Amino acid sequence: MTKTEIINRAIEVNENKVEDLKVQRKKVEEAKTDELSRMYLKYFGECLVDDDTIEVSDSYCYFKRFDPDYNYSKEMISITVRPKSWRDEEADKIETSFYSTSANDEFELKRMILIGNVGQVILDFQDDIIAEYNHIRESFKDKLSELNKDIWALERKVTDMKSEIKQIENDALIVELEKNGIEFEVDEDNLYRLPDLDVRFDFNIKRIRKIKVLDKTKSGKSADIEVQTVNKVWNSEASAYELAFHTNTYERVRMDKVSQLVTWNKEIIVSS
């Protein structure tokens, strides 16, 4: 196996580990959500009528009721248990959010009743709700933190390995650039897609079909290069445009620009 194949295999193994850990994390998050849902139902269950539902998402609890006029479950009111500052770990307040309307139909009047009932529960049990909320979050905190830490570590490892493969591929292209040169695919109808190169600050070469490094300075920062460009010219005898190729050499071109040209256009390089 080549080094790239070995690294790709390691990437696959670690990505599978990441997916397994994400499945575990999801199960823990769902368990936490279930605990929070039971807690909210304990306090606000009597506020619900008919087919009312609550949906819990971490610090949010949404009260929803089916609206026959719009044929979907509308959010009636939501409550948020949160700390005073993002720096604080424990929540210490409950905030409410609900829309205002001038409508006076039965649905909206009944919604007002729900909002009032929810508000009364908060007034009566705010401290208990906050305490239970913090307790539930704390009970899942260490496990979620551990899983997140493991996931992030593996994802960083995968990112580093992918960067290593990219560097190996780029190094191989530079070797080919200096040995045989690099050729790019030519689409006659879209020549503008071919790469271009600033050989000097005031001179840019467009529609490059081939490029090769002929010689490099001792520092390796500049190189003499051979470049073949392509453009369309009118053939009066055939009454049609045809491709014309021109080859020129340029001295002391910055090697970083040449390298960027090749690595940024890998998808159109003709395989050797």
Q: Is residue 218 part of a domain?
A: yes
Q: Do 52 and 186 fall into the same domain?
A: no
Q: Do 118 and 81 fall into the same domain?
A: yes
Q: Is residue 242 part of a domain?
A: yes
Number of domains in the chain: 2
Q: What is the mean pLDDT of residues 20-47?
A: 97
Q: How far is CA 39 from CA 10, 58, 138, in A?
A: 44, 12, 14
Strands (E), 133-221: 182-183, 197-200, 203-205, 208-216
pLDDT tens-digit readout, 209-228: 999 999 999 999 999 999 99
pLDDT tens-digit readout, 164-189: 999 999 999 999 999 999 999 999 99
- Write down which residue in 131, 162, 193 finishes a domain: 162
Q: Do 42 and 137 fall into the same domain?
A: yes
pLDDT tens-digit readout, 129-140: 999 999 999 999
Q: How far is CA 43 from CA 100, 118, 133, in A?
A: 25, 9, 12
Provide the domain limits for residue 259: 181-268
> Distance between CA atoms of 161 and 155, rounded to whole angstroms?
10
> Distance between CA atoms of 215 and 272, rounded to whole angstroms?
21
Q: Do 22 and 123 fall into the same domain?
A: yes
> Distance between CA atoms of 142 and 188, rounded to whole angstroms?
60
